[in-house]
Structure 1
Amino acid sequence: MVEPVLTDLPAVSLTDYAERARTVLSEDVWDYVDCGSASEVTLSANRRALDRVAVLPRMLRGVDTVDLGARLLGRPYAMPVGVAPMAYQRLVHPDGELGLASAAGAAGIPYLASTLGSTPLEQVTRVGADVWFQLYWLRDRALVRDLLARVVAAGCRALVVTVDVPVLGRRPRDLRNAFRLPDHVVAANLPDGRDALAHAGGPGVSALAAHTASSFAPALRWADLAWLRGQIDLPLVVKGVLDPRDAVEAVRVGADAVVVSNHGGRQLDGAPASVTMLPEVVDAVGGDCQVLLDSGIRSGTDVLRALALGAAGVLVGRPLLWALAAGGERGARDALELLAAELTDALTLAGCADPAAAAELRTLNAG
């Protein structure tokens, strides 16, 4: 009897897409997507910490249908999920950013476009999704101003400033692979020539780390964020917060939301799992801004865990890149449909008619 081939069967969990992606990606690209920084302690901690969150379900609540709808930054979405900002999506599939943004639009959720996207922002916004633009702070403030003008002109719904990348975390897998971008993948939102270093790797060197060091401003301060708040009339999201004191400071300078995130374990190795810090951040801001969770989300159960701990929603990263790699836009659409089905099941089993009800659930440490 011939065993069925996994890739010929429908995915039944988001992690199914990982092995499918691994079979179609080159080793260096797989490592780039999969890796964390240093010893990858924080990368693995994200998953362990989420698995330790036990949700106490409620019974006999009369829930027979679930409405996944949620409001993020004052706008209605089909579920409390956004596509995390991820660089160079054309690395994994020709559909790239356009495919993943189209999938997000079909799912009714926001798509976060990266400064380091491999498709120009203006093309991404034309696919019809609600696009939030993720900003890396560039050394040249004039370029920051130019990006802000493009963000407004393109019709983006929010600005998301990533604050946890003063320099790129040291990623041994990329160093061993001497990882560099192929010629057809460029930093399409940066001026001509800004990404030259990203294509010029060598033994023991990450071309992306060199490019980041050349392009990004490492000495970003809260005063810079306050300046930014005054430059743009869009909801402002601060991504990369772990310490509750930083969340409070973000609110002080005008943030409408913060994303509790350790960058998927790709920045400071040894930092705590994002979900570990989520309750403290939620308590610290006290309802003054929305709190989202990023890093390690792999299922509808994980979304429920985040909601029960006080998050307004989550950002999903690697699983959607896996799905994009495995099946292009269609794969990403299927993955988001699967996530919606998982979240529906999780909320139903927990006795919640909608995501807001999950905030009333108790959680326990099951570790």
Structure 2
Amino acid sequence: MLLILRSVARHIRHRVDWYIVALFTVIGVATLAPVEGAAADGVSLAVRVAVGLLFFLYGARLSPRAAYDGLRHWRLHVPILALTFAAFPLAGLAAGLLPRSVLSTELAVGVLFLTVLPSTVQSSIAFTSMARGNVAAAICSASFSTVLAVVLTPVLAVALIGQTGGGGMPIRASQLGDIALQLLAPFLAGQVARRWVTEWLGRHRALITVCDRGSILLVVYSAFSRGMTTGIWQRVSPGRLLLLAALCALLLALALQLSYGAARLIGLPYADRVTAVFCGSNKSLAGGLPMATVLFPAERVGIVVLPLMLYHTIQLVTCAWLARRWPARQSAAPSTSDDRGRGIRIRTGSSDTCG
């Protein structure tokens, strides 16, 4: 019996993403014990500091050499970036045309915000590695997406959400200065400081991971605390939540099909197709939550990031399944030396990634 329990525990440990569990636990805590009054102001200040630190670390961990090397593989990166910052936003605009009985104005803003976000870094690289894809290209592509998003995501949000009025959450061009101060300035400071802090960051990766994820958990707690005090769950019924989850699943399915189809159309080998699929379909929770705190009023952040939370959970489950399934199918089929050789020469834990 003890052996069975140990086997089940090992299975759970390898299958369950404890970070997602932690995220939804924090939402539960915020629902039961939201922070209010002076304490809420203190948490808001802590969030601003945490977001600045997060983008400083992004800048410090991004290797200019890795980005430069990746530019040579433009046939892979261009379709990924076009999907991330063009096709996705168009799908978000289309979703906004749904009847308000299906998708409320606030949730439509959240879906549109989700679609203008960059690709993930950690997840894209991990899934590409699991599926025996081009890890080096995944590192570069996810890094490009993250860097461009510091500018493109706020600009797209202003252009798309701001023009539609944002359901009472308009984003104005004048906010770009605040965004640059809170996001771009720490990022550039990290790039400048990189030569002095790279070795230290490499020696303290566990601490950096705690800082990254702890910052996101703090942002989630602050956002949903504000949401509770303004009645977020009174504005989202269980039925509408299920419809939102179905819409997120549909967006992911569309992104997977488009990214794989585009990669095949331009003749990319298997390893690069894998990279295109995971980098092109994933959306960054770590990047999206801090940006939402800068772009939207504090009392609305909780409901705006709800589509992102659902999409991120669905993408993790779906992409993990695909990443485990594809190598088995590929090994059963004849492969070329090009498909086998692209490989996993760069470790995902390298200090040349952006984390």
TM over 0.5: no
TM-score (norm 1): 0.27
Name whichever structure is richer in strand by fraction. 1
Q: Of the two structures, which has the highest relative contact order with CA contacts closer than 8 Å and spacing of 6 or more?
A: 2
Name whichever structure is richer in helix by fraction. 2
